[in-house]
Amino acid sequence: MQLTRVVYVAAALVLGASLLAGTALSLPQYAARAGRTCDNCHILPDWDTPKLSQQKRNMSCQTCHVDPAGGGMRTTAGRYYGRATLAMIAKSPRPYDDWDRNFPGLGRRDKATPYDDYMPVGPANFEDATAYKDSLHDKWAWGTPQGETRYGPFAGRYKELNPDPVLRIGADFRFATLVTQSTLMFPMQIDVGTAFHPVHHLTALMNVGARGQSSGYSDTFDDSHSPYFRELFAMTNEWPYQAYAKAGRFVPSYGLRLDDHTNRIRREFELDGSLPDSRVLGVEVGAVAAYPFLQASYFKLQSKYEEPDPWDIFDVDDGWGAALNTGWRHFGWSAGASAMIRRRPLDEGGDTDTYGLYGSLNPWYFSSRVPLTLQGEIDIGTVQRASGREADKLVWYGELGWLVWNGVNLIVAYDWTDPDRDVIDDHSGRIQFGGQLVVIPGVTFEGRVRRLDVATEEGDATDLFLQMHIWF
């Protein structure tokens, strides 16, 4: 009863705080699902498709995130998607195809959608976009860069939201509860980000985060390596074919960037987004030409056994690495391939090679009667044992999402790993059943029942994982 009261009180506080929020959590599943209708991400365009080099229509991470590799602070397109599409009650005009997909009994409750044949449209051409600047009223983004560019987002495409602000502030807060033989309540994520975009083609991103500890709030903030710079880089962007180049601290672009940092396709290959040592210091370049995409990076890194200085992004050791991420993301499906190598002394973690294939299928794009999204990834890799000899890894992940109603998404997922192919019975798998609930933009409630199956029955375990995510 006491735990129930705590959950109810926390939920009430979250709902109250969310009235100030206006953006969205973004996931690979959302990118795979959004292609079924253009007005997920902006109000209906009223112009002919521009030439390929000027198109911003794509399903890649950089559509919704300031960091082109995905995760963290959202762009205006990502914020619009969260306001218009994710929640039960929209705060921007809901996509036409979702008008009658509301929770039973809820009806057409939001006031942002006209619910008639006169859906709002964007500027008819690039020259007309300037006429919309006076209608911008955005409390989380301010200013407009000097000059104009045809490769940046236009005013009017996102209703009153600022499409290309000089200054943008955002945050992610997650509060988690893990129920096993006992109950643990702890902060899972505390991130505050700032994007500074003084002129076209130049953006600086700073994301400061605290690393959550399941042992509680005091341990989270007493950690000498928390808070720290999760991301800190300068980027030149808004170029033809949505090309960019960035330099600083970041996580290399590789595979599906899931928000679940415990997933094996992230954790097994030093891509756990919650850990400071997953960050590297380097440069990354990339481009998206509507459907095909390419990202490549070179970086220096800290020893695997040491945490980098939380504020000194130049705290790296002797190792270096490189990553490549490429593929094709269409409206109804996607296919990608990734590769990453690390070269470093054995006492700093040794050499690693990682190769992966991933993809998604969005049946909903082909039929309105099938609101399902599938995605998966398989990775192979090698690591060095303490002896210097190589060990082979095999990891894979699969997920099925069913958007039952607006704001209600059910998920079934399974991840499996064999961390050393030469060792018998060290493999394990984990099946998850759960769902996400978004009542209004700014708050996501998520719950999953997770069953861990290992080679020996003594290691099997089941838990219930709950989280509340506040984002703006």
Reported as a single tens digit per residue, the pLDDT across 335-364 is 999 999 999 999 999 999 999 999 999 999
Rounded Cα distance between 251 and 282, Å, is 10
Is the pLDDT score of 190 beyond 90?
no
The residues, any chain, with a CB within 8 Å of residue 193's CB and separated by 6 or more, are 66, 72, 73, 169, 170, 171, 172, 205, 206, 207, 208, 231
Report residue 20's pLDDT band, with 50, 70 and 90 as the boundaries. Answer: very low
Residue 377 and residue 397 in contact, taking contact as beta carbons nearer than 8 Å: yes
Is the pLDDT score of 192 beyond 80?
yes
Rounded Cα distance between 59 and 75, Å, is 14
Reported as a single tens digit per residue, the pLDDT across 416-451 is 999 999 998 889 999 999 999 999 998 999 999 999
Reported as a single tens digit per residue, the pLDDT across 250-266 is 999 999 998 888 889 99
3-state secondary structure 76-127: HHHHHHHHHHHCCCCCCCCCHHHCCCCCCCCCCCCCCCCCCCCCCECCCCCH
The predicted model gives 289-309 an average pLDDT of: 93
The predicted model gives 306-332 an average pLDDT of: 94
Max mean pLDDT among 13-27, 61-75, 131-145, 284-298 falls in 284-298
Phi, psi torsion values for 445, nearest 5 degrees: -105, 135
Residue percentage of the chain with pLDDT more than 70: 92
- Residue 128 sits at the vertex; the CA angle it makes with 125 and 130, to the nearest 5 degrees, is 130
Cα 455 to chain centroid distance, Å, stands at 32
Cα 151 to chain centroid distance, Å, stands at 23
- Tell which wins on pLDDT, 331 or 210: 331
Reported as a single tens digit per residue, the pLDDT across 33-55 is 998 888 999 998 777 678 889 88
The predicted model gives 375-381 an average pLDDT of: 97
The predicted model gives 60-74 an average pLDDT of: 91
Reported as a single tens digit per residue, the pLDDT across 174-188 is 899 999 988 988 888
The predicted model gives 449-454 an average pLDDT of: 93
Rounded Cα distance between 384 and 391, Å, is 6
Is the pLDDT score of 56 beyond 90?
no
Is the pLDDT score of 294 beyond 90?
yes
Is the pLDDT score of 171 beyond 50?
yes
Residue percentage of the chain with pLDDT more than 90: 59
For the chain, give the mean pLDDT.
88
**Is omega for the bond preceding 227 within 30 degrees of 0, making it cis?**
yes
Is the pLDDT score of 296 beyond 50?
yes
pLDDT score for 164: 93
Max mean pLDDT among 256-270, 365-379, 457-471 falls in 365-379
Q: Which amino acid is at 289?
A: A
- Tell which wins on pLDDT, 460 or 391: 391
pLDDT score for 7: 34
pLDDT score for 194: 96
Torsion over CA: 217, 223, 227, 233 (sign): negative
How close are the terminal C-alpha atoms of the chain, in Å?
Answer: 31
pLDDT score for 221: 66
Is the pLDDT score of 9 beyond 60?
no
> Span 2-471: which CATH code?
2.40.160.10
